Amino acid sequence: MITFYSVPDPMLPFTTIGVVVAFFVGLVVGASTVALLMILIAPSRRVRAEPPIPRDVETRLLLGEDPDQATTPPESTEDHPAPYSASDLAELRRLGSEPRSRRRR
């Protein structure tokens, strides 16, 4: 009876395709985990160190407006009413000085 023993070659550390695949899958998973942690942790320290943005800029950004564009109030199309006449002012004073007939409880 002849028995063949497989002697691993000292120059090739991986003898089967399963071991090679498992090694590369572990390598990819490990590298992906490290990359994900770097993406999540590294920028957060710099972001926390920055001063907060002004409230008006934050509001414009949340409303979808350009914060660099200057906002001007809309022009009023209404005409200003004429100032009160002396008789109107006297009427208002008379209304304010009348005694109140009903008391609050």
In a domain, 78, yes or no: no
Q: Name residue, tokens 């023993």.
A: 5
In a domain, 54, yes or no: yes
Rounded Cα gap, residues 37 and 17, in angstroms = 30
| pLDDT, greater one: 56 or 14 | 56
Convert the pLDDT of each residue in 22-74 to its tens digit.
889 999 999 999 999 988 887 777 777 778 888 988 988 898 888 888 777 66
What local confidence, expressed as pLDDT, does residue 66 receive?
84
In a domain, 104, yes or no: no
In a domain, 83, yes or no: no
What local confidence, expressed as pLDDT, does residue 44 receive?
73
Q: In total, how many domains does the chain have?
A: 1
In a domain, 44, yes or no: yes
In a domain, 49, yes or no: yes
In a domain, 50, yes or no: yes
Question: Could you tell me the residue range of the domain that residue 62 belongs to?
Answer: 17-66
CB 57 within 8 A of CB 67: yes
